[in-house]
Amino acid sequence: EIVLTQSPGTLSLSPGERATLSCRASQSVSSSYLAWYQQKPGQAPRLLIYGASSRATGIPDRFSGSGSGTDFTLTISRLEPEDFAVYYCQQYGSSRIFTFGPGTKVDIK
C-alpha cells in the first residue's frame, strides 16, 4: 500500500503570501491518480486538483498543482482569507485502493 506523507504539518502564513504544500509518496504514483482537496472546519472536503495539475470546476487559478513520480506540490499563489484550511493529497493505486495524506493545515500567521 502506498503511503502519502505531507509537509509541513502546519503552515503559518499571512494573506497575500504564497503557500507551497508538499505530498510525497512511498512509491511512484501515476500523475493521473493524484488529487488535492481542501477542507474547512465542519465542512466536507472539496476537490481542488485532479490528475496532479488539472483544476477542478470553479477552482480559482491561484491554485496550481505539479509534480510526478513520488513528489507532488500544491501551490497557492496568493492566499486569500478563505484559503485558510486543511489540505489533503490523495492517490489511487494499482491495487484499487485510495489513500489520503495526513493533511497540511494552513493557518493565519
Partner 1 sequence: QVQLVQSGAEVKKPGASVKVSCKASGYTFTGYYMHWVRQAPGQGLEWMGWINPNSGGTNYAQKFQGRVTMTRDTSISTAYMELSRLRSDDTAVYYCATSPIGPGGQLIPQFDYWGQGTLVTVSS
Query: Measured from the CB of residue 14, what is the shortest distance to partner 1 in angstroms?
Result: 25
Least Cβ distance, residue 22 to partner 1 (angstroms): 16
Which residues contact partner 1 by CB under 8 A?
32-33, 35, 37, 39, 44-47, 50-51, 56, 88, 90, 92, 96-103
Q: Least distance in Å: CB of 78 to partner 1?
A: 25
Query: Beta-carbon neighbour count of residue 95 at 10 Å?
Result: 7
* Strands, E assignment, the chain: 4-7, 10-13, 19-29, 34-39, 46-50, 54-55, 63-76, 86-92, 98-100, 104-108
